[in-house]
């Protein structure tokens, strides 16, 4: 059962990769981020309780319709990020993840250099620890975000996130880890 699910996931990833525009293709413009940034964050799990962590994150922000070949609202961005850090409790262990997030700046909500946004996405995560009943160290990492950019460009930002870490049923043991995370960062 898990083997068939893994095959479907790999097939879906291959279909997405094949449909991305090729760099240098006729009429295609180079895919360049509109912004780059860095952030520091800390978080804690609430189910099961007791996993505290801190991460450093590198961020690239793109116009959404430059990455995905369909029309998108002007205020929608595609965010790619890589994080590296560690758990602090119950013991110090490595954590690393790569995420992609659709980030939406709701029109008409910006005021005086403050620009709120919402986001949702998915990623993969490696944790050098396992909670009881968690079958794998490599897992999926769906997340939702709510944040605010502030100040002149390049802007600072603060963000709250909800994470769910799960192997998606690829292993018989699939106890998820749910956490809340707070992030502070700056775009360059």
Structure confidence at residue 26 as a pLDDT band (50, 70, 90): very low
20: pLDDT strictly greater than 80: no
CATH number at residue 75: 2.40.160.20
pLDDT at 183 over 90: yes
In a domain, 2, yes or no: no
Residue 3 included in any domain: no
Query: Could you give phi then psi for residue 130, rounded to 5 degrees?
Result: -140, 135
Q: Quick one: average pLDDT of 44-60?
A: 95
In this predicted model, what pLDDT tens digit does every residue of 132-160 receive, in sequence order? 878 888 999 999 999 999 988 778 999 99
Kindly state whether residue 149 falls inside one of the protein's structural domains: yes
In whole angstroms, give the CA distance from residue 52 to residue 90: 7
Q: Give the chain's domain count.
A: 1
Q: Mean pLDDT throughout 22-36? A: 66
73 is a domain residue = yes
Kindly state whether residue 29 falls inside one of the protein's structural domains. Answer: no
Residue 67, domain extent: 34-187
Residue with tokens 């961020």: 59
Of 2-11, 29-38, 177-186, which gets the smallest average pLDDT? 2-11
Q: Is residue 89 part of a domain?
A: yes
Q: Is 21 part of any domain?
A: no
């Amino acid at each position: 059962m898990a083997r068939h699910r893994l095959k479907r996931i790999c097939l879906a990833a291959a279909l997405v990769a094949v449909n991305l525009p090729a760099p240098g293709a006729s009429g295609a413009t180079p895919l360049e981020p509109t912004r780059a940034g860095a952030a520091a964050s800390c978080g804690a799990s609430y189910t099961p309780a007791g996993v505290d962590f801190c991460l450093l994150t590198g961020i690239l922000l793109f116009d959404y319709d430059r990455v995905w070949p369909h029309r998108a609202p002007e205020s929608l961005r595609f965010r790619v990020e890589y994080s590296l850090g560690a758990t602090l409790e119950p013991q110090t262990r490595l954590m690393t993840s790569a995420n992609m997030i659709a980030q939406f700046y709701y029109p008409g909500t910006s005021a005086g250099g403050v620009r709120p946004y919402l986001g949702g996405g998915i990623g993969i995560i490696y944790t050098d620890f396992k909670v009881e009943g968690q079958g794998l160290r490599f897992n999926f990492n769906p997340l939702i975000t709510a944040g605010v950019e502030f100040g002149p460009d390049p802007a600072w930002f603060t963000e709250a996130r909800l994470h769910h870490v799960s192997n998606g049923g690829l292993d018989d043991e699939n106890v998820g880890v749910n956490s809340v995370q707070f992030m502070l960062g700056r775009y360059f």
